[in-house]
Amino acid sequence: MNPWDQRFAADDYVFGTEPAKALLKLETFLVPEGKTLVVADGEGRNSVYLASRGFDVTATDYSEVGLAKARRLAEERNVYVHYVVEDIFERDWSSEQYDNVVAVFIQFVPPSHMTKVLSGLATALKPNGTLLVHGYTPKQVEFGTGGPPNPEHLYTEAMLRDVYQHLDIRLCEAYEDMLDEGSGHSGKSALIDFVGIKKA
């Protein structure tokens, strides 16, 4: 059993059943009702929300336990999401193209794989498609209210602007906010939002 299967084994939803606050804020950037890939979706809070808003959603995660809970949430909310058990490090990013790619708190990715994974997210976009990335900045290590303790797993504005220099960057902003997203993300947090559009 991988560590995330263990973490998700409890009955409650570690990150809650409501979408990330940032997704609610940034949803307007997404191609409406578009074909949408949500990576490392865990227990499904973000994919289920997007499906309820009319998006055609495929969501991936390597935790079978997490995705079982995601399927349950989708059933309860009466929406359909195509769930795929997949290790993000094994994904062929050019296998399929999407109108929207959404990556929320995927900060398990180590520095050695960071550029490949972040670039892959953009590779999976159709021309004019939207990439939305939400995560923590290194300052989050001081707050300790969620995310890994290793600052090298976290994002700075400069790093995202560099990796995504080929996109039309609509937003790249670090900020602090209070989160109340299950027991996993709770309290004052050092966050970063990124939105980029793939040039046609």
User: Strands across the sheet with 167-181, in order?
Assistant: 82-85, 56-61, 35-39, 98-104, 125-136, 185-198, 167-181
Among 9, 75, 89, 157, binds ligand SAM (CB under 6 A): 89
CA-based nearest residue to 26, from 82, 93, 103, 80: 103
Q: What is the DSSP letter of 88?
A: G
Q: Which of residues 69-88 bind ligand SAM (CB under 6 A)?
A: 87-88
Give the number of residues in contact with ligand SAM, rule: CB under 6 A. 19
Among 31, 52, 62, 139, binds ligand SAM (CB under 6 A): 62
135 vs 50: CA distance, rounded Å: 18
Smallest distance from the beta carbon of 141 to ligand SAM, in angstroms? 15
Q: Which of residues 107-166 bind ligand SAM (CB under 6 A)?
A: 108
User: HSE on the CB side for 34, CA within 13 Å?
Assistant: 22
Among 34, 42, 135, 196, binds ligand SAM (CB under 6 A): 42
Residues that bind ligand SAM (CB under 6 A): 4, 15, 20, 40-42, 45-46, 61-63, 66, 87-89, 104-106, 108
